[in-house]
Structure 1
Amino acid sequence: MRLLVTGGAGFIGSHFVKRMLAAGEDVVVLDKFTYAGNPANLPPGVECHRGDIAVRENVDQLGRVEAIVNFAAETHVDRSILGPEDFVRTDVLGTLVLLQAARELSARFVHVSTDEVYGDVEPGWSSREDDPLRPSSPYSASKAGGDLQVLAGVRTFGVNASVTRGSNTYGPNQYPEKILPLFATNALDGDALPLYGDGRQVRDWLHVDDHCAAIELVLQEGRPGEVYNVAANEEHENAELARLIIEHLDTDPALIRHVEDRAGHDRRYSLDATRLRALGWE
């Protein structure tokens, strides 16, 4: 299978590229190579093109593919607050361009999204795929817009497309703006660990290899028009993560510094992954 992986030089995308190459697939990467896209994340010899998913000519130059998996996105909430326009362009318009290409190629399409589209989740509840979307930031709103374009494309045009919504993902080669790599590198350097607000925000943590296994399964077995939550049910408060990093690296607890909370900061994310597990994901 000739497989296009957009955003394939980024954190999760590059792990997925390596996984699919190991499975014997013919992989081509399209990446804009912004700050988070790094050619060093990719194995030598992989076919890779610089381009923007929101520009149809950049997509068409790659020729025929049998499947597209879309990791390309503007992703950081803080950056979306400072400059939301780029998020709408990539996460909504870019997704639509890929969807149109998939329709014309009769290609399978998997759109990789986020748990943040559900917004705050009350204690005792985990978001299900059919729950209302209540995004709280320009980032999560743009991702929700992309999700809805995909679902509309299935309904209106019959595109063979599915959506995955993953929880907070961690692992090697993650750009150090996210909490785990940021706090770990800061602790090693003796720099402050900036903890938003009271630090009681709860996130559900998922290793990148498990996330990629889920996306591969949805690519192969997922139903058109279905959304699949991806989560390991590892919920932890941000303050707990900070303490664990300090303890593990044997550094000074005084490095943890509480800072003003982020505007519109969600308190808790939690996903119900029953639908995905029914496909065989563990």
Structure 2
Amino acid sequence: MTGAWNRITRLTGSVVGQARSVRDKARELREEFRGTDEPERLLVAPLVPGQQVRYVSQFGFYSDEYHKMGAQFADQVGDALADSFDPRVLFGLLNIVNPVAWVDAVITPVRIAAGVLTLPAKAVVAGGTDAGRVRDGQLVPPRRPLPLTGEQEAFRALFGFDAYEPLADQLAEFTYHYRYAFSGDLTSLAGGMLLFLARFTDTPVAVTDTHLHVLELPERPAPGQPDGRRPRLLWSVERRRLARIDFDYGPTRLLQFPATIVFDDGSWIHVVNPTTRDDQNRFLQALEGVPGKRPAGR
């Protein structure tokens, strides 16, 4: 009996010790991110002169391509694409009459919001080829890159699309892949934001008194290490164009905070902030005045 009691005592002590370790680790994490976006705000401030930086997220936002809000759009597309990814079928489902004009329509809001496509860009040289490849045991002849305008090539290179496949086809497939994540129109504000969140890593969000920005900014270095980060402004939208932001979580959520951003053009995108509750609360405070659903207790 004494031996059994000793085993129970040791087991209880082990469980209590593990619980304390988890509690202490959570407390450390909580303290680390409580009120600590000041270094990031100082880095971002020179990029947005005249704006008051109210918040910079600790980690990169991302968009969940499997979110339930896109189910209706996904079902419509999925039913017609059960056996084929034929771009012509995709164009029909997306109501794309002229793929060339549609590509330009997708590029336009990205150019306006990001200001990155106005930089000089070298167009794809039609005479270049890739090396021959082996597929299913057979040599595939070398391919020639498809000719693009300078701006189209800048867009293609920026988002990492294939130079040897039609850009319109790839954008249509991208739209289908992220059918759960947004309202389905790449030419919209939500579509432009999705392109940057999906094709870049380390994409924190900054909130100022006048804008919402998507940045390229690596995570903070370890304590004691020099901070040589150089943030890059990828995409911006004025706060007045935020129709509402709905936060889809309850009071017990500790990490991975989802939200749905709705713009004044009717488009929407589902995003996730993979952070702590304290950091998320700073995000909520920075968005004061923007309509939308807030979590319980706010």
Larger CA Rg, structure 1 vs 2: 2
Q: What is the TM-score when the length of structure 2 is the normalising length?
A: 0.22
Query: RCO greater where, 1 or 2, for CA within 8 Å and sep 6 or more?
Result: 2
